[in-house]
Structure 1
Amino acid sequence: MAEIDHIVIGATTLEDGARYIEETFGVKPSKGGAHVGLGTHNLLLGLGANCYLEIIAPDPGQVEPPHPRLFDLDDAGLRTMLEAEPRLIAYVASTPTLEPMVARLGASRAGEIRAMSRGDYAWRMAFPPQRQDMENLIPALIQWDSERAAKHIKDSGWRLTSLEAEHPDTQALHGALEARGLTDAVKIRQSPHVRLIAHLRHKDGREVTLTSA
Protein backbone atom coordinates (compact mmCIF):
# COMPACT_ATOMS: atom_id res chain seq x y z
CA MET A 1 0.00 0.00 0.00
CA ALA A 2 2.82 2.43 0.83
CA GLU A 3 6.61 2.58 1.05
CA ILE A 4 9.21 5.02 2.33
CA ASP A 5 9.67 7.79 -0.23
CA HIS A 6 12.09 10.03 1.64
CA ILE A 7 13.35 11.08 5.05
CA VAL A 8 13.46 14.71 6.17
CA ILE A 9 16.23 16.68 7.86
CA GLY A 10 15.15 20.02 9.33
CA ALA A 11 17.51 22.99 9.51
CA THR A 12 17.36 26.64 10.50
CA THR A 13 18.88 27.59 7.13
CA LEU A 14 19.77 25.60 4.03
CA GLU A 15 23.39 26.64 4.53
CA ASP A 16 23.36 24.97 7.95
CA GLY A 17 21.70 21.91 6.44
CA ALA A 18 24.20 21.63 3.59
CA ARG A 19 27.12 21.91 6.00
CA TYR A 20 25.61 19.23 8.25
CA ILE A 21 25.11 16.83 5.34
CA GLU A 22 28.65 17.32 4.05
CA GLU A 23 30.13 16.78 7.52
CA THR A 24 27.92 13.74 8.24
CA PHE A 25 27.92 11.98 4.88
CA GLY A 26 31.03 13.36 3.19
CA VAL A 27 29.12 14.56 0.12
CA LYS A 28 27.40 17.76 -0.94
CA PRO A 29 23.61 17.63 -1.38
CA SER A 30 22.01 18.37 -4.73
CA LYS A 31 20.04 21.49 -5.52
CA GLY A 32 16.34 21.37 -4.72
CA GLY A 33 14.08 24.40 -4.88
CA ALA A 34 11.38 26.46 -3.23
CA HIS A 35 7.97 25.31 -2.05
CA VAL A 36 6.15 28.40 -3.26
CA GLY A 37 3.47 29.61 -0.86
CA LEU A 38 4.58 27.23 1.89
CA GLY A 39 7.54 29.27 3.10
CA THR A 40 10.19 26.56 2.72
CA HIS A 41 12.93 25.42 0.35
CA ASN A 42 15.11 22.33 0.19
CA LEU A 43 18.22 20.44 -0.84
CA LEU A 44 18.33 16.75 -1.74
CA LEU A 45 20.59 13.74 -1.21
CA GLY A 46 20.02 10.73 -3.46
CA LEU A 47 19.65 7.37 -1.70
CA GLY A 48 19.09 5.25 -4.79
CA ALA A 49 16.33 5.10 -7.39
CA ASN A 50 13.43 4.93 -4.93
CA CYS A 51 14.46 6.98 -1.90
CA TYR A 52 16.16 10.24 -1.00
CA LEU A 53 16.94 12.55 1.88
CA GLU A 54 15.39 16.02 1.94
CA ILE A 55 16.95 18.94 3.82
CA ILE A 56 14.24 21.52 4.48
CA ALA A 57 14.41 25.00 6.01
CA PRO A 58 12.38 28.21 6.13
CA ASP A 59 12.84 30.20 2.94
CA PRO A 60 13.80 33.84 3.68
CA GLY A 61 12.94 34.73 0.08
CA GLN A 62 9.24 34.10 0.65
CA VAL A 63 6.68 36.04 2.66
CA GLU A 64 5.45 34.40 5.85
CA PRO A 65 2.98 31.69 4.81
CA PRO A 66 -0.65 31.91 5.99
CA HIS A 67 -0.39 28.47 7.61
CA PRO A 68 2.31 26.85 9.77
CA ARG A 69 5.24 25.51 7.77
CA LEU A 70 5.40 21.80 7.03
CA PHE A 71 6.94 19.31 9.45
CA ASP A 72 6.40 21.62 12.47
CA LEU A 73 9.23 23.95 11.39
CA ASP A 74 7.46 26.84 13.14
CA ASP A 75 7.23 25.00 16.45
CA ALA A 76 9.25 26.92 19.05
CA GLY A 77 10.69 23.78 20.63
CA LEU A 78 11.81 22.35 17.29
CA ARG A 79 13.29 25.69 16.22
CA THR A 80 15.41 25.70 19.37
CA MET A 81 16.65 22.17 18.64
CA LEU A 82 17.48 23.04 15.03
CA GLU A 83 19.41 26.12 16.09
CA ALA A 84 21.76 23.75 17.91
CA GLU A 85 22.06 21.36 14.96
CA PRO A 86 20.06 20.15 11.94
CA ARG A 87 18.37 16.83 12.65
CA LEU A 88 16.00 14.16 11.40
CA ILE A 89 12.44 15.43 11.88
CA ALA A 90 10.09 13.31 9.72
CA TYR A 91 9.63 10.91 6.81
CA VAL A 92 7.24 10.67 3.89
CA ALA A 93 5.58 7.55 2.48
CA SER A 94 4.64 7.03 -1.16
CA THR A 95 1.41 5.41 -2.27
CA PRO A 96 -0.12 4.88 -5.73
CA THR A 97 -3.62 5.20 -4.24
CA LEU A 98 -3.58 8.47 -2.29
CA GLU A 99 -7.23 9.44 -2.72
CA PRO A 100 -8.67 6.05 -1.70
CA MET A 101 -6.32 5.86 1.29
CA VAL A 102 -7.18 9.35 2.51
CA ALA A 103 -10.88 8.65 1.99
CA ARG A 104 -10.61 5.46 4.02
CA LEU A 105 -8.58 7.04 6.82
CA GLY A 106 -10.57 10.27 6.86
CA ALA A 107 -9.25 13.83 6.65
CA SER A 108 -9.11 14.07 10.44
CA ARG A 109 -6.44 11.34 10.45
CA ALA A 110 -4.74 11.63 7.06
CA GLY A 111 -5.20 15.34 6.36
CA GLU A 112 -6.34 17.10 3.21
CA ILE A 113 -4.70 16.44 -0.14
CA ARG A 114 -2.57 19.27 -1.57
CA ALA A 115 -1.46 19.40 -5.20
CA MET A 116 2.13 20.59 -5.59
CA SER A 117 4.59 21.00 -8.46
CA ARG A 118 8.04 22.32 -9.34
CA GLY A 119 9.59 22.20 -12.78
CA ASP A 120 9.01 18.78 -14.31
CA TYR A 121 7.79 17.31 -11.03
CA ALA A 122 4.18 17.09 -9.91
CA TRP A 123 2.84 15.41 -6.81
CA ARG A 124 0.04 15.38 -4.28
CA MET A 125 0.52 15.13 -0.52
CA ALA A 126 -1.61 14.65 2.56
CA PHE A 127 -0.12 15.73 5.89
CA PRO A 128 -1.68 14.36 9.10
CA PRO A 129 -3.14 17.27 11.10
CA GLN A 130 -0.83 18.59 13.79
CA ARG A 131 -1.28 16.72 17.08
CA GLN A 132 -2.62 13.77 15.05
CA ASP A 133 0.76 12.68 13.70
CA MET A 134 2.24 11.28 16.95
CA GLU A 135 5.04 13.85 16.69
CA ASN A 136 5.83 13.06 13.04
CA LEU A 137 6.02 9.29 13.55
CA ILE A 138 2.97 8.97 11.30
CA PRO A 139 4.22 10.11 7.88
CA ALA A 140 2.79 12.46 5.34
CA LEU A 141 1.60 10.56 2.26
CA ILE A 142 2.71 11.40 -1.28
CA GLN A 143 1.62 10.29 -4.73
CA TRP A 144 3.83 11.28 -7.63
CA ASP A 145 1.99 12.39 -10.77
CA SER A 146 5.32 12.66 -12.57
CA GLU A 147 8.33 10.38 -12.28
CA ARG A 148 9.54 10.03 -8.69
CA ALA A 149 12.13 12.63 -7.80
CA ALA A 150 14.51 10.00 -6.44
CA LYS A 151 15.16 8.72 -9.97
CA HIS A 152 16.68 12.04 -10.99
CA ILE A 153 18.73 12.95 -7.91
CA LYS A 154 22.45 12.26 -8.09
CA ASP A 155 23.18 9.02 -6.25
CA SER A 156 25.27 9.63 -3.13
CA GLY A 157 26.20 5.97 -2.61
CA TRP A 158 24.25 5.98 0.67
CA ARG A 159 21.18 3.82 1.30
CA LEU A 160 18.48 3.91 3.95
CA THR A 161 18.77 0.48 5.57
CA SER A 162 16.11 0.79 8.27
CA LEU A 163 13.73 3.21 9.94
CA GLU A 164 12.65 2.92 13.58
CA ALA A 165 10.00 4.69 15.65
CA GLU A 166 9.90 4.84 19.44
CA HIS A 167 6.76 5.91 21.31
CA PRO A 168 5.02 5.21 24.64
CA ASP A 169 1.85 4.00 22.89
CA THR A 170 3.10 1.34 20.48
CA GLN A 171 -0.39 -0.07 19.95
CA ALA A 172 -1.72 3.22 18.60
CA LEU A 173 1.37 3.76 16.46
CA HIS A 174 1.24 0.22 15.08
CA GLY A 175 -2.42 0.69 14.17
CA ALA A 176 -1.74 3.96 12.37
CA LEU A 177 1.15 2.52 10.37
CA GLU A 178 -0.71 -0.71 9.61
CA ALA A 179 -3.61 1.32 8.19
CA ARG A 180 -1.11 2.88 5.78
CA GLY A 181 0.57 -0.39 4.83
CA LEU A 182 3.83 0.50 6.58
CA THR A 183 4.18 -2.17 9.27
CA ASP A 184 7.08 -3.81 7.41
CA ALA A 185 8.74 -0.48 6.60
CA VAL A 186 9.10 0.90 10.14
CA LYS A 187 10.31 -0.95 13.23
CA ILE A 188 8.33 0.08 16.31
CA ARG A 189 9.68 0.06 19.85
CA GLN A 190 8.12 1.06 23.16
CA SER A 191 9.85 3.95 24.88
CA PRO A 192 8.86 6.70 27.32
CA HIS A 193 10.27 9.17 24.81
CA VAL A 194 9.27 9.81 21.19
CA ARG A 195 12.05 9.31 18.67
CA LEU A 196 12.51 8.62 14.96
CA ILE A 197 15.71 6.80 14.00
CA ALA A 198 17.15 6.27 10.50
CA HIS A 199 20.07 3.96 9.76
CA LEU A 200 22.04 4.55 6.56
CA ARG A 201 24.98 2.69 5.03
CA HIS A 202 27.39 3.71 2.27
CA LYS A 203 28.53 1.29 -0.40
CA ASP A 204 32.03 1.50 1.11
CA GLY A 205 30.74 0.22 4.47
CA ARG A 206 30.43 3.50 6.37
CA GLU A 207 27.32 3.79 8.54
CA VAL A 208 25.38 6.78 9.89
CA THR A 209 22.49 6.87 12.36
CA LEU A 210 20.19 9.89 12.38
CA THR A 211 17.78 10.59 15.24
CA SER A 212 15.08 13.15 15.96
CA ALA A 213 16.00 13.41 19.66
Structure 2
Amino acid sequence: MAEIDHIVIGARTLDEGAAYVEAHLGARPLPGGKHEGIGTHNLVMGLGPDCYLEVIAPDPDQPAPAQGRPFDLDDPSVALMLEAGPHLIGWVARTPALEAVAARLGPAVAGEVKAWKRGTLSWRMAMPPQRQDMRNLIPSLIQWDDGQGAAPRLADSGCRLVALEAEHHDVDALRQALAARGLEEALKVRRSPHPRLVARMMRADGTDVALASG
Protein backbone atom coordinates (compact mmCIF):
# COMPACT_ATOMS: atom_id res chain seq x y z
CA MET A 1 0.00 0.00 0.00
CA ALA A 2 1.36 3.41 -0.99
CA GLU A 3 1.03 6.48 1.22
CA ILE A 4 1.79 10.19 1.19
CA ASP A 5 5.52 10.83 1.53
CA HIS A 6 5.71 14.58 1.01
CA ILE A 7 4.06 17.60 -0.56
CA VAL A 8 5.90 19.90 -2.96
CA ILE A 9 5.93 23.69 -3.08
CA GLY A 10 7.28 25.15 -6.30
CA ALA A 11 9.08 28.48 -6.40
CA ARG A 12 11.23 30.59 -8.69
CA THR A 13 13.93 30.68 -6.01
CA LEU A 14 14.44 28.93 -2.68
CA ASP A 15 14.39 32.27 -0.88
CA GLU A 16 10.92 32.99 -2.25
CA GLY A 17 9.78 29.50 -1.31
CA ALA A 18 11.13 29.79 2.24
CA ALA A 19 9.39 33.13 2.75
CA TYR A 20 6.11 31.67 1.46
CA VAL A 21 6.22 28.68 3.79
CA GLU A 22 7.14 30.83 6.79
CA ALA A 23 4.36 33.31 6.06
CA HIS A 24 1.72 30.59 5.78
CA LEU A 25 2.91 27.99 8.29
CA GLY A 26 4.94 30.01 10.77
CA ALA A 27 8.02 27.81 10.35
CA ARG A 28 10.96 28.08 8.00
CA PRO A 29 12.17 25.13 5.91
CA LEU A 30 15.81 24.08 6.19
CA PRO A 31 18.42 23.56 3.46
CA GLY A 32 18.11 20.28 1.63
CA GLY A 33 20.54 20.12 -1.25
CA LYS A 34 21.07 19.88 -4.97
CA HIS A 35 19.52 17.34 -7.32
CA GLU A 36 22.55 16.89 -9.54
CA GLY A 37 21.69 16.41 -13.20
CA ILE A 38 18.02 17.24 -12.54
CA GLY A 39 18.46 21.02 -12.54
CA THR A 40 16.82 21.68 -9.16
CA HIS A 41 17.63 22.19 -5.50
CA ASN A 42 15.42 22.16 -2.44
CA LEU A 43 14.52 23.01 1.13
CA VAL A 44 12.75 20.61 3.49
CA MET A 45 10.56 20.84 6.59
CA GLY A 46 9.39 18.01 8.83
CA LEU A 47 5.64 17.48 9.27
CA GLY A 48 5.98 14.63 11.77
CA PRO A 49 7.64 11.23 11.53
CA ASP A 50 6.03 10.13 8.26
CA CYS A 51 5.62 13.23 6.12
CA TYR A 52 7.44 16.39 5.13
CA LEU A 53 7.23 19.47 2.96
CA GLU A 54 9.65 20.17 0.12
CA VAL A 55 10.32 23.50 -1.54
CA ILE A 56 11.80 22.97 -5.00
CA ALA A 57 13.19 25.54 -7.41
CA PRO A 58 15.42 25.67 -10.48
CA ASP A 59 19.07 25.59 -9.47
CA PRO A 60 20.88 28.49 -11.21
CA ASP A 61 24.19 26.65 -10.82
CA GLN A 62 23.03 23.74 -12.99
CA PRO A 63 22.16 23.71 -16.70
CA ALA A 64 18.58 22.96 -17.64
CA PRO A 65 18.21 19.17 -18.07
CA ALA A 66 17.40 17.82 -21.51
CA GLN A 67 14.06 16.33 -20.43
CA GLY A 68 12.90 19.27 -18.32
CA ARG A 69 12.81 19.79 -14.58
CA PRO A 70 10.42 17.75 -12.41
CA PHE A 71 6.90 18.81 -11.47
CA ASP A 72 6.56 20.69 -14.77
CA LEU A 73 8.72 23.57 -13.50
CA ASP A 74 9.71 24.39 -17.08
CA ASP A 75 6.15 24.37 -18.37
CA PRO A 76 5.25 27.95 -19.40
CA SER A 77 1.96 27.91 -17.47
CA VAL A 78 3.68 26.73 -14.28
CA ALA A 79 6.49 29.25 -14.71
CA LEU A 80 3.90 32.02 -15.15
CA MET A 81 2.07 30.90 -12.01
CA LEU A 82 5.31 30.93 -10.01
CA GLU A 83 6.07 34.43 -11.27
CA ALA A 84 3.14 35.50 -9.10
CA GLY A 85 4.51 33.58 -6.12
CA PRO A 86 5.22 30.07 -4.82
CA HIS A 87 2.44 27.49 -4.99
CA LEU A 88 1.73 23.91 -4.05
CA ILE A 89 2.59 22.07 -7.27
CA GLY A 90 2.51 18.36 -6.46
CA TRP A 91 3.00 15.50 -4.07
CA VAL A 92 4.99 12.29 -3.84
CA ALA A 93 3.76 8.90 -2.64
CA ARG A 94 5.94 6.31 -0.92
CA THR A 95 5.67 2.67 -1.98
CA PRO A 96 7.58 -0.51 -1.00
CA ALA A 97 7.14 -1.96 -4.50
CA LEU A 98 8.09 0.77 -6.95
CA GLU A 99 9.43 -1.44 -9.74
CA ALA A 100 6.40 -3.72 -9.65
CA VAL A 101 3.93 -0.83 -9.78
CA ALA A 102 5.88 0.99 -12.49
CA ALA A 103 6.16 -2.20 -14.58
CA ARG A 104 2.44 -2.87 -14.28
CA LEU A 105 1.48 0.67 -15.30
CA GLY A 106 4.19 1.01 -17.94
CA PRO A 107 6.60 3.93 -18.48
CA ALA A 108 4.10 5.90 -20.57
CA VAL A 109 1.87 6.16 -17.49
CA ALA A 110 4.11 5.79 -14.44
CA GLY A 111 7.27 7.27 -15.90
CA GLU A 112 10.73 5.74 -15.95
CA VAL A 113 12.22 4.56 -12.66
CA LYS A 114 15.40 6.54 -11.96
CA ALA A 115 17.90 6.51 -9.12
CA TRP A 116 18.43 9.74 -7.20
CA LYS A 117 20.82 10.73 -4.44
CA ARG A 118 21.29 13.72 -2.14
CA GLY A 119 23.90 13.55 0.60
CA THR A 120 23.39 10.33 2.56
CA LEU A 121 19.90 9.83 1.15
CA SER A 122 19.26 7.67 -1.90
CA TRP A 123 16.04 6.63 -3.54
CA ARG A 124 14.36 5.51 -6.74
CA MET A 125 11.58 7.54 -8.25
CA ALA A 126 9.11 7.40 -11.13
CA MET A 127 7.52 10.64 -12.30
CA PRO A 128 4.43 10.47 -14.52
CA PRO A 129 5.04 12.08 -17.90
CA GLN A 130 3.45 15.47 -18.41
CA ARG A 131 -0.26 15.19 -19.29
CA GLN A 132 -0.35 11.72 -17.71
CA ASP A 133 -0.24 13.32 -14.26
CA MET A 134 -3.59 15.18 -14.54
CA ARG A 135 -1.93 18.49 -13.61
CA ASN A 136 0.23 16.84 -10.93
CA LEU A 137 -2.78 15.38 -9.10
CA ILE A 138 -1.25 11.96 -9.81
CA PRO A 139 1.86 11.72 -7.66
CA SER A 140 5.37 10.70 -8.44
CA LEU A 141 6.20 7.39 -6.74
CA ILE A 142 9.23 7.00 -4.52
CA GLN A 143 10.97 4.11 -2.80
CA TRP A 144 13.66 5.02 -0.29
CA ASP A 145 16.65 2.72 -0.28
CA ASP A 146 16.81 2.66 3.54
CA GLY A 147 13.07 1.99 3.86
CA GLN A 148 12.53 5.18 5.89
CA GLY A 149 13.39 8.21 3.83
CA ALA A 150 13.78 11.85 4.76
CA ALA A 151 10.88 12.48 7.15
CA PRO A 152 12.27 10.69 10.25
CA ARG A 153 15.56 12.56 9.87
CA LEU A 154 14.02 16.03 9.91
CA ALA A 155 13.38 18.26 12.89
CA ASP A 156 9.67 18.41 13.63
CA SER A 157 8.27 21.82 12.70
CA GLY A 158 5.09 21.21 14.70
CA CYS A 159 3.05 21.68 11.51
CA ARG A 160 0.93 18.83 10.19
CA LEU A 161 -0.67 17.78 6.92
CA VAL A 162 -4.29 17.19 7.93
CA ALA A 163 -5.69 16.20 4.53
CA LEU A 164 -4.79 16.27 0.86
CA GLU A 165 -7.58 16.98 -1.61
CA ALA A 166 -7.78 16.80 -5.40
CA GLU A 167 -10.26 18.57 -7.67
CA HIS A 168 -10.75 17.54 -11.30
CA HIS A 169 -13.52 17.41 -13.88
CA ASP A 170 -13.03 13.66 -14.47
CA VAL A 171 -13.20 12.25 -10.96
CA ASP A 172 -13.66 8.68 -12.20
CA ALA A 173 -10.40 8.73 -14.14
CA LEU A 174 -8.63 10.36 -11.21
CA ARG A 175 -9.89 7.77 -8.74
CA GLN A 176 -8.89 4.94 -11.10
CA ALA A 177 -5.39 6.35 -11.48
CA LEU A 178 -4.99 6.67 -7.72
CA ALA A 179 -6.35 3.17 -7.11
CA ALA A 180 -3.89 1.73 -9.64
CA ARG A 181 -1.13 3.04 -7.38
CA GLY A 182 -2.71 1.86 -4.12
CA LEU A 183 -3.69 5.40 -3.19
CA GLU A 184 -7.48 5.28 -3.23
CA GLU A 185 -7.63 6.33 0.44
CA ALA A 186 -4.88 8.95 0.30
CA LEU A 187 -6.84 11.85 -1.19
CA LYS A 188 -10.29 13.32 -0.96
CA VAL A 189 -11.48 13.72 -4.56
CA ARG A 190 -14.02 16.31 -5.69
CA ARG A 191 -15.45 17.25 -9.07
CA SER A 192 -14.45 20.68 -10.36
CA PRO A 193 -14.00 22.22 -13.81
CA HIS A 194 -10.51 23.36 -12.82
CA PRO A 195 -7.85 20.84 -11.65
CA ARG A 196 -6.47 21.77 -8.26
CA LEU A 197 -4.53 20.19 -5.41
CA VAL A 198 -5.27 21.42 -1.87
CA ALA A 199 -3.23 20.63 1.25
CA ARG A 200 -5.11 21.22 4.49
CA MET A 201 -2.46 22.09 7.05
CA MET A 202 -2.34 22.84 10.77
CA ARG A 203 0.30 25.19 12.10
CA ALA A 204 2.13 24.51 15.36
CA ASP A 205 -0.19 27.00 17.08
CA GLY A 206 -3.27 25.05 15.95
CA THR A 207 -4.28 27.44 13.17
CA ASP A 208 -5.75 25.81 10.05
CA VAL A 209 -4.21 26.79 6.70
CA ALA A 210 -4.93 25.69 3.15
CA LEU A 211 -2.20 25.61 0.50
CA ALA A 212 -3.42 25.21 -3.09
CA SER A 213 -2.03 24.69 -6.56
CA GLY A 214 -4.17 27.36 -8.13
Name the counterpart of 2:205: 204
Distance 1:203 1:19, change over 3 A: closer
**Deviation of the 1:203 alpha carbon:** 4.1
For 1:47 and 1:29, how far apart are their aligned partners in 2? 11
Letter in 2 for 1:202: R
After superposition, where does 1:11-160 map in structure 2 within 5 Å? 11-146=11-146, 147-160=148-161
Shift of 1:186: 0.3
Q: How far apart, in 2, do the equivalents of 1:43 and 1:23 lie? A: 15
The number of equivalent residue pairs is: 213
| Within-5 A mapping of 1:156-175 | 156-175=157-176
Identity %: 59
AA of the residue aligned to 1:140: S
- 1:30–1:153 contact (8 Å) kept in structure 2: no
CA drift at 1:107: 1.2
Q: 2:44 is paired with a residue of what secondary structure?
A: strand
CA distance in 1, matches of 2:58, 2:129: 20
Distance in 2 separating the partners of 1:65 and 1:23: 31
* Residues in 1 aligned to 2:29 and 2:50: alpha-carbon distance in whole angstroms: 17
Over residues 165-209 of structure 1, what are the superposed CA-to-partner deviations in whole Å (9 max), with x where a residue is unaligned?
Answer: 000000100000011111111010011110000001134311110
Structure 2 gaps, min length 5: none
TM-score by length of 2: 0.97
The superposition leaves residues 63-89 of structure 1 with CA deviations (integer Å, 9 ceiling, x where unpaired) of: 221221000000111111111110000
Native 8 Å contact 2:26 2:203 kept in 1: no
RMSD value, Cα: 0.9
Structure 1 CA distance for aligned equivalents of residues 69 and 207 of structure 2 = 33
CA contact (8 A) 1:30 1:154 kept: no
Offset from partner CA, 1:6-65 (integer Å, 9 cap, x none) = 000000001110111111111111110000001000001110111000000000011221
- SS of residue paired to 2:71: helix
Q: Name segments (4+ residues, structure 1) moved above 3 Å.
A: none
* Deviation by residue 1:96-120 (Cα, 9 ceiling, x = unmatched): 0001111111111111100011111
TM-score (norm: length of structure 1): 0.98
Separation in 1, partners of 2:210, 2:40:
25
Moved more, 25-34 or 8-17: 25-34
